[in-house]
Structures are given as C-alpha cells and as structure tokens.
Amino acid sequence: MSIPDYIANAAKDECNNLLSEQNGILAVVIASIDGFDVASSVSKMLDPSRIAAMASSIAAIGSVVTQEVSLGSSKSVTVNTEDGFVYITYLELAGVNYVLNVVADKTAILAQVIYRCGEIGKRLKNN
Amino acid sequence: MREYKLVFTGTTGAGKTTAIAAISEAAPIRTDVANTDTTIDKASTTVGLDFGQISLANGDRLRLFGTPGQVRFDFMWKILVRDAFGIIILIDNSRPDPLADLNLYINGFEQELLTTPCVIGVGRTEAHSHPSLDDFSIALEKQNLILPIIPVDVRNADDVNMLIGILMAQTEAEMI
C-alpha cells in the first residue's frame, strides 16, 4: 500500500522534528500496522525496519488484550524500562491506520512525548 | 493436570491461524491485521501471535501458539518457542520454493530443534505435488535432521490433530 509522496514527506519531517527537538529521543518510526516502516528518524545504530515490525506486534497484542477484557480500542502502549521507554500509538495517514513508535532514553519525559505524538497525529491526519 | 505448550510456525499463508482455529476449544486469540505486502496474496496477516487451547482425554491441556510467518517478525519466534514441548512447521507447497521456505524455519529454530520434537506439515500437495515429500526428507537430511513430514489440510481438524498426535508420539518415544 503506497501513500502519496507529500504525506510520506510530511511524516518523515515529523519524525525528524521530534527526534531533533525533544531530549532523549533515540528513534521515531511510523509503520504500517503489518510492520513495514514508512517514515523514520533514528539515532544510534537502531534499525527502523526491526522497530517497525516490533511496534506492529506490540500494538496488535495491546489491541487483542483490550478486546479480551472489553476495554474498547487500544490507543497506546508504553513499555517502561530501567533506561528509558518505548511509546507506541496509532495515527492516520490518508485515511489508513499506522503505528507511531518512539524509543527514548531516561532523559526524555514521557508526558511530553505523548503530547507531541498526539499533535503529530492531528497534523498528519489533516494533511 | 499438566499443560503443554505447542508452537505452530511456518510460511505465511500456510495456515497456522487456520490450524489453531480448527481445533481450539474456545475462540482463538488472533492478532491479524490488514496485509499491505503486495507480494503476498492475503487480506490479513498475523503480526503478534495466535493462541488457542485444547484438552486431552487424560485431562492434560495443550496451549497452542502460532507465530507470524514473515522473517521480519522472527523476534516473536524466539519469544513464543520458549518452553515449547513441540514445534509444528507448516509449509505451503503452492509457493515458488517450498524447500527454501522449510530451510528458513529450520534455520530460524535451529537451536530449539536440537532438543524439541518437530513435525513438518505440507499443505496444498494435491494441487502441487512438487517438491515431493521425499524431496523434503532429502533437504532435512542435508541438515542432519530426520523429522516426520506429513501432507495436511489444516482446515481439517483431523489433520491438525494427526500432526499433534505424531508430535506427542515423538515426545513419548524420546522419553522411553
């Protein structure tokens, strides 16, 4: 499934901006729900394609858990670690759901990342 | 009551989700999403895991886990195969190179196959007779493996139960 170039470029810009503007962000990856990266910005030696596949698995498992316990649609999954966190949420590109995945070290602030991801989702949906 | 963990893995489209659904006593848990990979002729694909359960006549229970098929999800293979008592590898014989597909999973589960019983189920053999089951045996022998290779239609619960029965028999044989 392809998305228009201008939307893919806007998604790439959003990934770059979040990585460069927010402290502690190691990777920002937008992936199709079946695990292909469509836009990304990473620091260090992180592989966006691996992150994309893992994000789609985690998002899908999160969804099936919330369905099982009748808590409605999953909106996000956060994995907190000793040295940081991974935040996974959904966004829409050209009317199709994608997964937005942020990997951050402990200098990043989760609440700020959640807020920024929400803003990115709004902007890309209206693109 | 004892509980056993069994893992279905293999080619995308070979029927891992279908096999678990065919025999699970309760509605299986699925993590299927829309497939965007145009090289695979499927509307949806598993990206996390499948899960189902069945009870055996002696009261023991089998917990059935299905892996995603694509290599990009190989991290899930490693997670799901932990503590499994057996592995069922499903191959779709209608694909361009089923022997290469088999090698992919033999290599992906190389460490586990040293200690864990395994059965190979080959689907769509009636319409696609090549490679033959002998060809699969020869391919396994080259990897120093001797494993049961069974033609199956995983939509049929009897066929899936047969795979599990062979796996259980293998386990019992190794315990003797």
Residue with tokens 């066929």: B159
Q: Is the pLDDT of residue A105 over 90?
A: yes
Cβ-based neighbour number of residue B42 at 10 Å: 14
Over the stretch B56-109, which tens digit does the pLDDT of each residue have? 888 899 999 999 999 999 999 999 999 999 999 999 999 999 999 999 999 999
Instruction: With residue A106 as reference, give the H or E element that holds it.
Output: none
Is B79 within 8 Å of chain A by CB? no
Give the per-residue pLDDT at B175: 62
SS3 assignment for chain B: CCEEEEEEEECCCCCHHHHHHHHCCCCCECCEEECCCCCCCCCEEECCCEEEEEECCCCCEEEEEECCCCHHHHHHHHHHHCCCCEEEEEEECCCCCHHHHHHHHHHHCHHHHCCCCEEEEEECCCCCCCCCHHHHHHHHHCCCCCCCEEEECCCCHHHHHHHHHHHHHHHHHHHC
Q: Is the pLDDT of residue B48 over 70?
A: yes
By three-state DSSP, how is residue A33 classified? coil
Over the stretch B142-155, which tens digit does the pLDDT of each residue have? 999 999 999 999 99
CB B75 within 8 A of CB B17: no
Q: Is the pLDDT of residue A111 over 80?
A: yes
Per the structure, the count of domains in chain B is: 1
Instruction: Look at B76 and A57 and tell me if their CB atoms are within 8 Å.
Output: yes
Give the per-residue pLDDT at A1: 58
Instruction: Look at B31 and A57 and tell me if their CB atoms are within 8 Å.
Output: yes
By three-state DSSP, how is residue A26 classified? strand
Q: How far is residue B127's CA from residue A70's CA, in Å, rounded to a whole number? A: 43
Instruction: Look at B47 and A49 and tell me if their CB atoms are within 8 Å.
Output: no
Instruction: Look at A49 and B72 and tell me if their CB atoms are within 8 Å.
Output: yes
Per the structure, the count of domains in chain A is: 1
Q: Nearest by CB to B29, from A32, A35, A68: name it.
A: A68
CATH number, domain containing residue A77: 3.30.450.30
Is B29 within 8 Å of chain A by CB? yes
Determine which of B29, B51, B72 to mutate to test the interface with A (most A C-beta atoms within 10 Å): B72
Over the stretch A9-52, which tens digit does the pLDDT of each residue have? 999 999 999 999 999 999 999 999 999 999 999 997 899 999 99
Cβ-based neighbour number of residue B154 at 10 Å: 24
Q: What percent of chain A has pLDDT over 90?
A: 92
Q: Identify residue B93 by its one-letter amino acid code.
A: N
Q: Nearest by CB to A54, from B36, B38, B75: name it.
A: B75
Listing DSSP states for A39-96 in one string gives EEEE-TT--HHHHHHHHHHHHHHHHHHHHHTT--S--EEEEEETTEEEEEEEEEETTE
Q: What is the pTM of this model?
A: 0.89
Domain enclosing residue A96, as ranges: 5-125
Domain enclosing residue B159, as ranges: 3-175
Closest CA to B66 of B37, B90, B93, B35: B90
Is B68 within 8 Å of chain A by CB? yes
